[in-house]
Amino acid sequence: MPEGPPIVILKEKMDYLKHKIVSEASGYAEIDMEALSHKKILDFKSWGKHFFICFNDFTIRIHFGLFGSYQFHEPKKVNPKLALHFNNDDVYFYVCTIERIEGALEDHYDFSADVMSDEWDVAKALGKLKDLPKKQIGDVLLDQKIFSGVGNIIKNEALYRAGVHPESLVGKIPAAKLKAIVKEARDFSFDFLKWRKVDQLTQNLEVYRRTETRIGEKPVVKKDTGKSKRSSYFSVSEQKLYQ
DNA sequence: TATAATGTTTGAAC
DNA sequence: AGTTCAAACATTAT
């Protein structure tokens, strides 16, 4: 479920429930379920990996973490964290964090940091990178304050496309390469979205989890890198290490 | 069947 | 005070 693109897909799938009235809310999330009853959903929004259900004066935030899922119409066998009931329909959310946010979303989130947003701001992202010269680019790409929505798949694929090694230090990467990374973080996210919609994502990944299948071609190395110690997949021959 | 994985927060330990 | 680490949440694909 995680990275930004599947959240955009969820938002699109939820669209038919926009302007509908919640008849009842249930689940084991620690929010006031009563507060959702008989309330009209004004909109669905997203910021990176966060999904928002917007009501008049508050918003419900859902984050799916690593294992979260959702289902329309019929419940799964396990207990939902949140279930929204409508007149003739239901939506269920599982293994996610649910929080209530008061007031305007814009006061809590900077949408120009969301790589999939219309408001995505390349110059702002580059400016933030400038302040982190000693960080590894692999770590920085996972920083949601800079690249909201980027997860480990997008990180690895964007770095491969840009030809930069994940352990490269931000301050040592040439400006043109940094620009390429920022561009690919967004471009790959939209390819991710396109491929996921037709269930063709894994076939199109060039390095992520490709250590076995690429034997005989350019070998892909897997290594836990940086402070985050997340798995990086990269080609030593095609991705330059700047340090 | 065992393992690893698209994520993040929290709090203890150093 | 800063960091580093494990734990916690719990599921699914391979």
Specify whether the CB–CB gap between A190 and A201 falls below 8 A.
Answer: no
Give the pLDDT of residue A217: 67
Beta carbons within 8 Å of A19's beta carbon, 6+ residues apart: A40, A41, A42
Specify which residue's alpha carbon is closest to the C1' of nucleotide B7.
A65
Residue A46: how many CA atoms within 13 Å on its side-chain side? 27
Q: Set out the domains of chain A in order of their start, with CATH numbers.
A: 4-107 (3.20.190.10), 111-234 (1.10.8.50)
**pLDDT, tens digit, for every residue of A66-84?**
999 999 999 988 899 999 9
Beta strands A24-26 and A43-47, pairing class: unpaired
Alpha helices (runs of H) in chain A, residue ranges in sequence order: 4-14, 122-130, 137-141, 152-162, 175-197, 201-204
Where b means 16+ CB within 10 Å and e means fewer, A52-90 reads bbbbeebbbbbbbeeebebeeeeeeeeebbbbbbeeeeb
Nucleotides of strand C under 7 angstroms from a protein beta carbon: 3-4, 9-12, 14
Contact assessment for residue A152 and residue A208, using Cβ atoms and an 8 Å cutoff: yes
A69 CB neighbours strand C below 7 A:
yes
pLDDT given at position A2:
84
CA–C1' gap, A56 and B6, in angstroms: 32
Give the pLDDT of residue A213.
Answer: 63
**CA A88 / C1′ B7 distance in Å:** 33
In this structure, are residues A2 and A66 in contact, taking their beta carbons and an 8 Å threshold?
yes
Residues with CB under 7 A from strand B: A 1-3, 6, 48-49, 63, 65-67, 142, 144, 151-153, 208-209, 222, 230-231
Say if residue A123's pLDDT is above 80. yes
- Mean of pLDDT values over A142-157: 97
pLDDT greater than 80 at residue A36? yes
Q: How many CB atoms lie within 10 A of CB A29?
A: 20
Distance A24 CA to C5 C1' (A): 42
The gap between A97 CA and C5 C1' (Å) is 23
Strand B nucleotides within 7 Å of a protein CB: 4-8
Measured distance CA(A128)–CA(A131) in Å, rounded: 5
Å between CA of A89 and C1' of C6:
42
A175 Cβ contact partners less than 8 Å away, ≥ 6 residues apart:
none
Taking only the tens place, the pLDDT of each residue in A41-65 is 999 999 999 999 999 999 999 999 9
Cα gap A28→A25, rounded to integer Å:
10
Average pLDDT over residues A103-120: 95
pLDDT of residue A29 exceeding 60, the answer is yes
Tell me, what's the pLDDT at A18?
Answer: 97
Instruction: Decide if pLDDT at A215 tops 60.
Output: no
CA of A69 to C1' of C12 (A): 11
State residue A55's pLDDT score: 97
Determine what percent of chain A falls in helix, strand and coil, rounding each to the nearest 5: 35, 25, 45
Residue A214 predicted with pLDDT over 60: no
- The pLDDT value recorded for residue A216 is 60
Residues of chain A with pLDDT > 70: what percent?
Answer: 97
Tell me what pLDDT residue A218 has. Answer: 77
pLDDT digits (tens, 9 = 90+) for A160-173: 999 999 999 999 99
Cβ atoms within 10 Å, residue A166: 25
- Amino acid (one-letter) located at A59: T
CA-to-C1' distance for A145 and B7, Å? 14
Q: What is the pLDDT of residue A211?
A: 86
Q: Grade residue A134 by pLDDT with cuts at 50, 70 and 90.
A: very high
Answer for A30: CB within 7 Å of strand C: no
For the record, the structure tokens of A7 come out as: 């959240």
